[in-house]
């Protein structure tokens, strides 16, 4: 396990996840602290900070220490600031963004490497986020399944989460593009991905963006993908984070899935998010 000199790192579960203490991310942090935060992210896949005050400018500045900011194509609704996404659940919403297991924006040719989500307002209870370790999801497959998946790619598309046929905007406050000029984004990715920094293999499919296995029909792909979707979210692969106002989650989008739990529809949950380019 990595030793840290500038930050305190406390794991929250056996599979993944750690809380970071001793850091105010709104400060102009030196390179040594940023390096330890990056190493903690690689070690634990998702890291959390409590009690932060993160104005937009500082949120962006902190995010840029880890890479360029990613512009999400489906949240561009004419706002001036294209680098920040706000995820708002209002009382009465019957759906929320991210309530199915997924990695973010995997229909892109180069999906974002990570996201930094900051809680502006949270309910007294509910609205937690689950995360699932996709290294473990791959490593616990049989050797035969690993061999079969190793040469396969899957097609990823955003048709289920945006566009005029998705039907998501009628259910929730956080809107996405559904105009007539919208077109789906579709790209293929290996089902087994090698992480560019750790060199470890992980599963890279999810039930939101993955449509079918390349070279197979959706019907032929369905039983394989259904097995993987069930397997990759096994409880022993997961951690659960309970939000408080001022909390931050920073996750590695290359090797985990996450899910927003929609279990308190009477409360406001307001989040501010950057994504970091892959």
Q: From the candidates 72, 156, 193, 273, give the one annotated as an active-site residue.
A: 273
Query: Using CA atoms, how far apart are residues 278 and 275, in angstroms rounded to an integer?
Result: 9
Q: How far is CA 214 from the centre of its chain?
A: 24
Catalytic residue, candidates 93, 104, 158, 252: 104
| Catalytic-role residue among 102, 172, 177, 233 | 102
Choosing from 72, 258, 262, 269, the catalytic residue is 258
CA gap 187, 118 in Å, rounded: 29
Known active-site residue 102: yes
- Please report the sign of the dihedral spanned by the C-alpha atoms of residue 74, residue 216, residue 113, residue 36: positive
Burial state string for 117-128 with b = 16 or more CB within 10 A and e = fewer than 16: bbbeebbeebbe
CB 257 within 8 A of CB 233: yes
Active site (annotated) includes residue 258? yes
Is 254 a residue of the active site? no
Nearest to 210 by CA among 118, 100, 122, 115: 100
Catalytic residue positions, numbered = 102, 104, 258, 273
């Amino acid at each position: 396990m990595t030793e840290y000199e500038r930050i305190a790192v406390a794991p929250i579960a056996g599979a993944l996840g750690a809380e970071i203490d001793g850091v105010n991310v709104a400060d102009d942090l030196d390179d040594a602290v940023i390096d330890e935060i990056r190493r903690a992210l690689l070690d634990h896949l998702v890291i959390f900070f409590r009690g932060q005050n993160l104005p937009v400018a500082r949120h962006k500045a902190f995010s840029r220490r880890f890479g360029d900011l990613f512009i999400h194509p489906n949240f561009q609704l004419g706002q001036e600031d294209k680098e920040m996404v706000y995820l708002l659940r209002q009382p009465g919403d019957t759906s929320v963004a991210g309530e199915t297991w997924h990695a973010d924006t995997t229909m892109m040719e180069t999906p974002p490497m990570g996201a930094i989500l900051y809680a502006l307002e949270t309910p007294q209870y509910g609205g937690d986020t689950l995360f699932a370790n996709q290294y473990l999801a791959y490593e616990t497959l049989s050797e035969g399944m690993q061999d079969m998946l190793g040469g396969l790619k899957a097609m990823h598309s955003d048709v289920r989460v945006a566009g005029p046929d998705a039907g998501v905007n009628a259910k929730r406050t956080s809107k996405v593009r559904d105009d007539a000029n919208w077109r789906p984004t579709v790209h293929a990715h290996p089902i087994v991905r090698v992480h560019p920094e750790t060199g470890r293999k992980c599963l890279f499919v999810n039930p939101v963006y993955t449509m079918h296995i390349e070279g197979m029909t959706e019907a032929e792909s369905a039983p394989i993908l259904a097995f993987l979707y069930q397997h990759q979210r096994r409880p022993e692969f997961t951690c659960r984070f309970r939000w408080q106002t001022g909390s931050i989650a920073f996750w590695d989008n290359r090797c985990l899935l996450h899910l927003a739990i929609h279990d308190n529809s009477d409360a406001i949950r307001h989040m501010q998010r950057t994504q970091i380019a892959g």
